[in-house]
Structure 1
Amino acid sequence: MKTKNKPAQTARRAAAGVLESRADLENHLANIARLKLYEARLAADLDAETQAARLRFGPALAAVRRELEEKTLAARAWAEAHRAEFGGRKTLELRAGVLGWHSGQPGLKPLAGWTWEGVLERLKALPRLRGYVRTKEEVNKLRLLADRQALGPEALAEAGVRVTQEESFFVEPRLEVTEVAARPERAAA
């Protein structure tokens, strides 16, 4: 037997996100619209304050960065001219800090006059180096999707696949008909 909800229960359900009528949904959507407007206003305020901070601190920050770059380049020039000071090491410790060179990750570059295409062809031609040529096989999902009508579900199933298409829920509040609220209505806790 179904029992009727009391008004307090209905309010609690609405506050918890349970909407029981179209009117509840209309009110709920209006609240979403107010929240969206408030969110947009807060985001605009944040953007404005961020821009003001950039304008305020940007020139000084740029000047400091330029000076740091100049001083780093001067330190590098000294280090390159005085490699003997490093004593065969990659770093030099001083009272105010450490300077030196970090080794990067090893990489490959084609020799002068070679291209990667030429390297590929040469690797294919040398039996002992053929193992360094990669062949990547993969399902062409885009083509299967494009040809799904012509193939039909039976052929797709025979290949072990099926076409799926999910739905995603959306709410598009009509912001132009919603009053801007100083603080949006919030559900009572």
Structure 2
Amino acid sequence: MSAPAPAPGKTPKSPFLLLLSVGLTLALLVAAVIVTVSLTGGHDARTGAAPDAGGACRGSNVTLHTVSQRFRLKLPDDAKDLHYLAHSGGLSGEYDLEMRFRTTASGLQHFLAGSGLPKLSGNVDVLRTGVPEADPCRQDAEGLRHASYAGDQVAGGADHGAYVRGVAVDDSDRARPVVALIAMDT
């Protein structure tokens, strides 16, 4: 018994041609996605986008004032080179924050004490969150060379929900330490 003859005017489809057409279609689809993402800037907000004049990294949708109040952070008046990435509706809860700034020795003490953060330790295990980025806006930012760490977990209260905070401080230049912080709702 032989295979049925194709209908008049139609040629039989080869499995090779079918696979080739599916492969080309997938390749064109992937290329279209890559072009669309590159033209719309849909890459991760932390991969090289410079902060705006207020220090917000691309992708931030919450003000620094809002997240500072939420996570009870008292930023020093002398904070310089401030960069932050703040999200509302983050993965872990209502707010997520990554922040970096440079300050003075007295500004660092003001920040730690005013924010109620525990004493710094050389042990990274004191962090309750992931290790803070050296700079949330720049993928290729210089890392923290001589870091000390502090972290806490704050239980929810009548006026706030529960959250965690982790801070790394590079004091290789003791007069101008660099502070990197990550905080998120739990």
Could you state the TM-score of these two structures normalised by the residue count of structure 1? 0.27
